[in-house]
């Protein structure tokens, strides 16, 4: 369906993925799930319908550290896409510089337990130190409880870092739950950003996901210049099925006023990702 909300010019989907096509970009051995093909053409078609001009493609875990599909999409975008990579210890300075030239501006670290790829903290610290000279950020995907468990590790970060999907808190716990209070404490720091994406992951009630809105509003109020938004297309391991990404877009005017949405969708991603 056509969305009832039209985003401003230069709007950015700051969190999405590409899967395959597997015939050209094979999935990794030992991947936690095997998805259908959802390539760059699918993403472009979605953006044409939603009115989104820019994108940040987060490397999909099903491709592991082979960032080829993501880099191919960025190369074909005419400068409208950026990327966040997955790496391992084999990525030396030259390999990281090649990713930078390809449009990558950060590395994602997945702490969520169900994906069974949780990095040890030694690796996390090594990669953070390695990407700091590039001006990259650390993108951190975690469970709500990790906001408390990893508090000291997050406090020690000096590079910019981005917390995914409102910290994956559970809407049933309310905005006073300890994990969300810990997230608010983090985002008040000048180097912490947060994505007010994943309303479908936060929601307990399900569509139209309005029970996620108080969390998004609180985060936007706490750090209006360090919030980002994304579709999370194509929605791996969803808590609730997203029938149409237009429904997520229509939550935006319920999160912030026009000036706030201009920051959320245009100005903030342009600053962090270098559009």
Average pLDDT over all residues of the chain:
96
Alpha-carbon distance 275 to 272, whole Å? Answer: 8
List of residues 6+ apart from 221 with CB closer than 8 A: none
> Residue 262 — pLDDT band, cuts 50, 70, 90?
very high
Structure tokens, 42:
């699918």
Q: Does 67 have pLDDT greater than 80?
A: yes
Cis peptide upstream of residue 108 (ω within 30 degrees of 0): no
pLDDT, tens digit (0-9, with 9 covering 90-100), for 137-182: 999 999 999 999 999 999 999 999 999 999 999 999 999 999 999 9
pLDDT, tens digit (0-9, with 9 covering 90-100), for 97-112: 999 999 999 999 999 9
Between the CA of residue 154 and those of 36, 135, 196, what are the distances in Å? 34, 17, 19
Q: Active site includes 66? A: no
> Residue 239 — pLDDT band, cuts 50, 70, 90?
confident
First-to-last C-alpha distance (Å) of the chain: 29
> Residue 1 — pLDDT band, cuts 50, 70, 90?
low
Cα dihedral: 158, 162, 164, 166 (round 10):
90
Q: Does 71 have pLDDT greater than 70?
A: yes
Instruction: For residue 214, give the nearest of 169, 259, 247, 268 by alpha carbon.
Output: 169
pLDDT, tens digit (0-9, with 9 covering 90-100), for 13-29: 999 999 999 999 999 99
List of residues 6+ apart from 93 with CB closer than 8 A: 130
Element at 50 (helix H, strand E)? helix 40-50
Query: What secondary structure does DSSP assign to 1-37, as a single string?
Result: ---S--PPTT-EEEEE--B--TTTSPPPTT-S--PPP
User: Quick one: pLDDT at residue 118?
Assistant: 83
User: Quick one: pLDDT at residue 237?
Assistant: 81
12-273 CATH pick, 3.40.50.720, 3.20.20.140, 3.40.640.10, 2.100.10.30: 3.20.20.140
Name the burial class of residue 176, with classes exposed (0-12), middle (13-18) and buried (19+) by CB atoms within 10 angstroms of its CB.
exposed
> Residue 190 — pLDDT band, cuts 50, 70, 90?
very high
Which of 155, 232, 244, 257 is the catalytic position?
232
Q: What is the average pLDDT across 232-250?
A: 92
Q: What is the average pLDDT across 193-220?
A: 97
Instruction: For residue 274, give the nearest of 104, 133, 75 by alpha carbon.
Output: 104
> Residue 2 — pLDDT band, cuts 50, 70, 90?
confident
Alpha-carbon distance 258 to 275, whole Å? Answer: 21
Q: Does 136 have pLDDT greater than 70?
A: yes
């Amino acid at each position: 369906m056509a969305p009832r909300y039209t985003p401003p010019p230069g709007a950015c989907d700051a969190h999405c993925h590409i899967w395959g096509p597997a015939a050209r970009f094979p999935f990794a051995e030992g991947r936690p799930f095997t998805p259908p093909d959802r390539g760059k053409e699918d993403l472009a078609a979605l953006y044409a319908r939603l009115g989104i001009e820019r994108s940040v493609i987060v490397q999909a875990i099903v491709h592991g550290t082979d960032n080829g599909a993501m880099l191919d999409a960025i190369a074909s975008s005419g400068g409208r896409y950026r990327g966040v990579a997955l790496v391992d210890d084999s990525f030396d300075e030259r390999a990281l510089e090649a990713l930078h030239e390809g449009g990558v501006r950060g590395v994602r670290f997945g702490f969520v337990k169900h994906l069974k790829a949780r990095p040890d903290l030694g690796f996390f610290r090594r990669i953070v130190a390695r990407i700091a000279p590039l001006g990259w950020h650390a993108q951190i995907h975690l469970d709500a409880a990790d906001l408390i468990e990893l508090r000291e590790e997050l406090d020690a970060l000096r590079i910019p870092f981005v917390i995914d999907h409102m910290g994956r808190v559970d809407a049933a716990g309310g905005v006073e739950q300890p994990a969300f209070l810990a997230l608010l404490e983090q985002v008040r720091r000048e180097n912490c950003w947060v994505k007010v994406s994943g309303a479908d992951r936060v929601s307990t009630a399900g569509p139209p996901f309005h029970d996620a809105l108080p969390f998004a509003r609180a985060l936007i109020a706490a750090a209006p210049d360090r919030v980002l938004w994304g579709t999370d297309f194509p929605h791996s391991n969803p808590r609730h099925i997203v029938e149409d990404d237009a429904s997520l877009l229509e939550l935006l005017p319920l999160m912030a006023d026009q000036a706030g949405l201009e920051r959320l969708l245009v100005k903030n991603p342009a600053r962090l990702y270098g559009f």
